[in-house]
Amino acid sequence: MTDVNDKNDIKAKQEIIKDLLKKKRAILLAHNYQRGEIQDIADFQGDSLELSIKANKTDADIIVFCGVRFMAESAAIMNPDKIVILPNENAGCPMVDMITAKDIINLKKDYPGAPVVAYVNTSAECKAVSDICCTSANAVKVVNSLPAGRVIMVPDKNLGSYVQRFTDKEIINWPGYCPPHGRTKPEDIKILKEKYPGAVFVAHPESIPETIDVADHVSSTSGMYKFVRESNAKYFIIGTEQGIMYKMRKENPGKVFISSNKGLICPNMKRTHLEDVINSLSNMKNIIRISEDIRIQARKSIENMLAL
Ligand code: 13P
Ligand code: SF4
């Protein structure tokens, strides 16, 4: 009985959001880790790279960004004439807070001439003092496109070590990391592979190097959708935030998806509820604001990435 009521409640809220989006000429973008009920009403769902490309192309007046703050900030950086809403203002990313613009300026002094590649998981201020952005989908390509022999990568040490496997350039790493992704250890994979013989382990580049070592496939979140769709395997151990399995299960009914670790949940990605979308959009709350000088400089780093 409660289940039916809950479902009706979700449906009703989704209908309210659809109406609001239409009335306000707004578009809803959702990251692949969002709650299922948010994914279901997204105009567009994707990984960080796809979302930044999409945000750059839309002709909607308002972008409702269901993800975390740095993603909504990137959309605002690229669209000064549009309103960008982050439905839950507390949806941040701990990795973003592991580095400041001042740290990057100091790194540049320590390694003169080395370009700075900022993972999109950085603040607008950090992007403003970096040379080019990257996402997990294009990090190797971005680093290899640079003419320098030594490259500074911030803030994710795990993404940096992953890229180091595919480049002759020397990567200078910053010690940031993603807490949820760091929880999957090679021991978890060993146990799960014994339990599910033939299972394929899919990892995200934010995983620790020891976990990457035992991965059968490594990619961004959208790369994972493609991989599991095309693979003939039945069992998949998914080494990224559990929200990704919602669409995987919907798209691949005959396949079984198992999380690599029970703790692989990003609390920030889960902060956004349907109510937050309704409240923020109907009251025009939680609008992302970035000072113009920071925005212009940060835009260059994102544009340099998109140009690739
Ligand atoms: P992607 O979806 O770009 O792979 O990013 C994962 C992530 O952790 C974003 O914070
Ligand atoms: Fe940040 Fe990790 Fe959450 Fe992505 S999954 S938003 S990197 S804490």
| The two domains 2-92+269-289 and 181-259 share their CATH topology (first three levels equal) | yes
Query: Would the pLDDT of 1 be above 60?
Result: no
Query: Would the pLDDT of 157 be above 90?
Result: yes
Tell me how far the alpha carbon of residue 8 lies from the centroid of ligand 2, in angstroms. 31
**Which CATH code, of 3.90.480.10, 3.40.50.10800, 3.40.1670.10, 1.10.1740.10, is assigned to 2-92+269-289?**
3.40.50.10800
**Ligand 2 site, CB within 6 A:** 68, 93-95, 121, 178-181, 206, 241, 266, 268-269
152 exposure class (CB count in 10 Å sphere: 0-12, 13-18, 19+): buried
Stretch 131-138: mean pLDDT: 96
- Is the CATH number 3.40.50.10800 carried by domain 96-177? yes
* pLDDT for 118: 98
283 exposure class (CB count in 10 Å sphere: 0-12, 13-18, 19+): exposed
Please identify, in words, the CATH class of the domain defined by 181-259.
alpha beta
Stretch 146-167: mean pLDDT: 98
Query: Would the pLDDT of 7 be above 90?
Result: no
**pLDDT digit string (tens) for 254-276?**
999 999 999 999 999 999 999 99
**pLDDT digit string (tens) for 86-100?**
999 999 999 999 999
* pLDDT for 116: 98
What confidence tier does 2 reach under pLDDT thresholds 50, 70, 90?
A: low
What span, in angstroms and rounded, lies between the C-alpha atoms of 24 and 277? 13
Q: Two tokens at 223?
A: 């790369």
| Nearest CA residue ID for atom 4, ligand 1 | 220
Tell me how far the alpha carbon of residue 270 lies from the centroid of ligand 2, in angstroms. 11
Determine the residue of 45, 95, 162, 240 to mutate for testing ligand 1's pocket, defined as the one with the most ligand atoms within 8 A of the Cβ atom.
240
Ligand nearest to the CA of residue 225, numbered in listed order:
1
| Nearest CA residue ID for atom 9, ligand 1 | 48
Mean pLDDT in the chain? 96
* pLDDT for 296: 97
Query: Would the pLDDT of 5 be above 90?
Result: no
Query: Would the pLDDT of 222 be above 90?
Result: yes
In the chain, the largest separation of any two C-alpha atoms, in whole Å, equals 65
* Bridge partner list, 150: 170
Angle at 264 (CA atoms; ends 260, 269), nearest 5 degrees: 140
Tell me how far the alpha carbon of residue 145 lies from the centroid of ligand 1, in angstroms. 21
Residue 135 Cβ < 6 Å to ligand 1: yes
172's enclosing H/E stretch is: strand 170-173
pTM attached to this predicted model = 0.95
Stretch 120-131: mean pLDDT: 98
**Among the atoms of ligand 1, which is closest to the Cα of residue 269?**
10
**Among the atoms of ligand 2, which is closest to the Cα of residue 180?**
2
251 exposure class (CB count in 10 Å sphere: 0-12, 13-18, 19+): exposed
Tell me how far the alpha carbon of residue 93 lies from the centroid of ligand 2, in angstroms. 5
Residue 50 Cβ < 6 Å to ligand 1: no
Stretch 107-115: mean pLDDT: 98
Give the residue extent of every domain in the chain: 2-92+269-289, 96-177, 181-259
Residue 32 Cβ < 6 Å to ligand 1: yes
List strands edge to edge, sheet with 200-203.
217-218, 200-203, 235-239, 256-259
Residue 136 Cβ < 6 Å to ligand 1: yes
What confidence tier does 57 reach under pLDDT thresholds 50, 70, 90?
A: confident
Residue type, 175: P
Ligand nearest to the CA of residue 135, numbered in listed order:
1
| Nearest CA residue ID for atom 7, ligand 1 | 48
Question: Residue 173 in contact with residue 139, Cβ under 8 Å?
Answer: no
Residue 220 Cβ < 6 Å to ligand 1: yes
Determine the residue of 142, 217, 221, 305 to mutate for testing ligand 1's pocket, defined as the one with the most ligand atoms within 8 A of the Cβ atom.
221
Instruction: Single out the residue of 81, 84, 15 nearest to residue 281, CA to CA.
Output: 84
